[in-house]
């Protein structure tokens, strides 16, 4: 504060982040530190295994507020390798209530069974972390808020990233989607 006495007065006056981060609740993947942005620059939603569930009012409310009020330009879905939620979903045993949330990950497994089949456990784990990001990007793009924003001509990009907690490398999964047309090209027509 000594270096920047105006920091808090400035911060308190406006909330106009350009980014919405949807990430895992894991304590090792804090949004601001990973993308090196100060307070005020990124709106954040986190849950176990960075899942965007079609009927999750918490996540949907965050999306609506971010898109319609804050008018963010970028939505980043960021997964991470070594995700405990993904690992738990792969295990053949109960973990309690959380297994109901993790059913969404087992759905991703089922949807991509052909890609995951026959892989070694480690490779399967990493690939499932990646496939989950792609699936959640698709879910973000399929929300009424994102569709309406695109239809209204808003500049809104949805990105899929994955973070490696072993080396700190953040990778863009080449999944930037900026329109409904791109969504169809990438994921097919069944959106
Ligand atoms: Co995680």
The reply to whether 2 falls in a domain is no
Residues with CB under 5 A from ligand 1 (ion): 24, 26, 83, 85
Residue-number span of the structural domain to which 116 is assigned: 16-187
Q: Alpha helix (H) ranges present in 22-153?
A: 31-35, 57-64, 84-90, 98-111, 113-116, 121-141, 144-151
Q: What is the CATH number of the domain that holds 164?
A: 3.40.1050.10
The reply to whether 76 falls in a domain is yes
How far apart are the CA of 32 and the centre of ligand 1, in A? 16
Known catalytic residues are 24, 26, 28, 80, 83
Q: Tokens 């959106």, residue?
A: 191
The reply to whether 5 falls in a domain is no
> What total number of domains does the chain contain?
1
Residue-level pLDDT, tens digit, the chain, 191 residues = 678 899 899 888 888 999 999 999 999 999 999 999 999 999 999 999 999 999 999 999 999 999 999 999 999 999 999 999 999 999 999 999 999 999 999 999 999 999 999 999 999 999 999 999 999 999 999 999 999 999 999 999 999 999 999 999 999 998 799 999 999 998 886 54
How far apart are the CA of 79 and the centre of ligand 1, in A? 7
The reply to whether 87 falls in a domain is yes
How far apart are the CA of 34 and the centre of ligand 1, in A? 14
- Residue 105, token pair as written in the block: 């990950």
* Prediction pTM value: 0.94
The reply to whether 146 falls in a domain is yes
How far apart are the CA of 179 and the centre of ligand 1, in A? 28
How far apart are the CA of 78 and the centre of ligand 1, in A? 10
């Amino acid at each position: 504060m000594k270096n920047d006495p105006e920091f808090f007065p400035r911060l308190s006056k406006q909330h106009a982040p350009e980014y919405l981060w949807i990430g895992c609740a894991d304590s090792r993947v804090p949004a601001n530190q990973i993308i090196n942005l100060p307070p005020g620059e990124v709106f954040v939603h986190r849950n176990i295994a960075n899942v965007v569930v079609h009927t999750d009012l918490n996540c949907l409310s965050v999306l609506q507020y971010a898109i319609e009020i804050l008018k963010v330009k970028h939505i980043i879905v960021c997964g991470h390798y070594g995700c405990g939620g993904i690992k738990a979903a792969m295990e053949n045993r109960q973990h309690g209530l959380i297994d109901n949330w993790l059913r969404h990950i087992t759905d991703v497994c089922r949807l991509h069974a052909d890609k995951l089949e026959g892989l070694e456990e480690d490779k399967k784990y990493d690939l499932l972390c990646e496939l989950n990001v792609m699936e959640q990007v698709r879910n973000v793009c399929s929300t009424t808020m994102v569709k309406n924003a695109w239809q209204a001509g808003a500049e809104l990009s949805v990105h899929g990233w994955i973070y490696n907690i072993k080396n700190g490398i953040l990778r863009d999964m080449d999944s930037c989607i900026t329109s409904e047309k791109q969504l169809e090209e990438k994921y097919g027509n069944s959106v």
